[in-house]
A and B are shown apart, each in its own frame.
Chain A
Amino acid sequence: MSALLREMGERALRLGVPFSAQLDLTYRCNEQCVHCYLDHDDHGEMTTAEIKNLLKEMAEAGVFILTFSGGEIFLRKDFFEILECARSLTFCIKLKTNAVLIREAQAARLRDLGVQSVQISIYSHRPEVHDAITKVKGSLRRSIDAIRFLKSQGLKVIMANVLMAGNMQDYHGVRALAEELGAEYTLDPTITPMMDGDRSILDLNAGESALRELFRDEMFVGNAEEFCAPPPPPDAESLSSLPCSAGHTACYISPYGEFYPCVQFPLSCGNVRQQRFIDIWRDSEQLKEVRSIRLKDLSGCSQCAHGSTCTRCPGLAFMEGNMRGPSTADCEKSFARTGIPSVNLLAKKEKAAPPRLVQIQLVPAITGNRLSGMSAVA
């Protein structure tokens, strides 16, 4: 992130402006990724007119960076109509897509409309691995073709590599592929629970030893010794810092108009079909609560050694049951990075320990005819 963009983000925070937003246009998808957190059925997506009206409201509220995502955005027949409307309102547009439906004509149109970047999910450089994750044969080839079309139009392409147990060994290959195609590369080793709270897909997460190896790979982390160093204890400044931009300068809107602090934070704050975007942003009690939380308010985390360096996601914490609690996925990352267990992990370990059958207890010395003793307590 450029220094100026960071400065503008800070200014937006001071002014209470929703600087960036993600709008999912649909949850429908032409891939069926094994780790996807969405219900792909259409439960009543916003119409073209509703979305155009929302875009006007978002522009008036000050949204500058607007990400269109899904589901697969190109499944909406009105996608380019929506995009044209958004560009006429001078948003900085970012797209997230699997790109399977992008051919030469679509790439040229995206270029003409001045899209800032296109992020494409690539899970492996090997078709047998990528296609097994998307469950669509030929999907890697289609996505790579699309990257070539987009690059030939001079567009910025980012290859997003979600890592899980099944493709962990391939990230060097994906990075090399990105280099070959002239695309940027980003990786994310976090699988998130389903939006409905189902946590079974978390079993797909890469294990601790794989994460430990990743966090010591200097190609990705720079100086591994520095990256994995024990964190400094949280100071007064970090204790009063904000957890992240969710609800502060960023927000998320679902295809059904539900307003959340972030795509990973399914706390409903209102619905843009019933209320104006700016009214929800300013007046939602849920958003006010999210905005009130500082590190010092977090149970466990405020006393944790990782407090100042943890990547704790408030949305994942919310999905774990408490937006003021820890996010175990991030505790695990901190542990894999430094080898130091978080307060949360220690508590979980303690809780999971089998009950002791026999406890030896020292009994204080008793004066009189008994000198001292040990008692066995069942």
Chain B
Amino acid sequence: MYVARSPRIAARMLGEEMLVMSGHDSTLFTLNPTATILWQAADGATPLDEIVERRICTEFEVKPEDAMRDAEELAENLAKHGILLISEQPIVKPDAPVRGQR
């Protein structure tokens, strides 16, 4: 699974958390430090399991399989709100219509 930040969101770090506003309905979200790492690493080119292995498991004491399950759930949730794009293929052009973008 590949993940990419939607180009239609607004985002800014505020203290330890990432503040993200959905582009399609202006809903506001805050991402905790773990979710922020995943979101920042979501470049469309790095597979999610690699992000989890290299960025999450090295930062937090968590079993890789648990981290992967949580990351997939988080990615699905963020995609539902249109702030993350998900694809089985690398996402070369983030504004192309893929899952999670409305």
Could you tell me if A8 and B26 are in contact, using CB atoms closer than 8 angstroms? no
Distance in angstroms between the alpha carbons of A94 and B19 in the assembled complex: 17
Is A4's CB under 8 angstroms from B28's CB? yes
Whether A358 sits at the interface, judged by CB under 8 Å, is no
* Interface range for B: 10 to 19
Provide the B1-42 mask, 1 if CB < 8 A to any CB of A, else 0: 000000111111111000101011010101000000000000
**A64 within 8 Å of B (CB atoms):** yes
Chain A, interface residues (CB within 8 Å), range: 20 to 34
- Asked whether B14 lies within 8 Å of A64 as measured between CB atoms, the reply is yes
Q: Which residues of B contact A91 (CB under 8 A)?
A: 10, 12
Residues 82-97 of A, flagged 1 when their CB comes within 8 A of B and 0 if not, give 0000010011110000
User: Is the CB of A17 closer than 8 A to any CB of chain B?
Assistant: yes
Tally inter-chain residue pairs, CB-CB below 8 A: 45
Q: Are B14 and A17 in contact, with the CB atoms below 8 A?
A: yes
Partner of B11, one of A8, A12, A15, A90: A90
B-contact 0/1 string along A121-164, CB 8 Å cutoff? 00000000000000000000000000000000010100000000
Contact A62 B21 (CB under 8 A): no
Check: A114 CB closer than 8 A to any chain B CB: yes
Cα–Cα, bound, A5→B21 (Å): 10
Is B28's CB under 8 angstroms from A2's CB? Answer: yes
List residues of B whose CB falls within 8 A of some A CB: 7-15, 19, 21, 23-24, 26, 28, 30
Can you spell out 12 A-B residue pairs with CB atoms less than 8 angstroms apart?
A8-B19, A11-B15, A15-B14, A62-B14, A90-B11, A90-B12, A91-B10, A92-B10, A114-B8, A114-B10, A116-B26, A154-B24
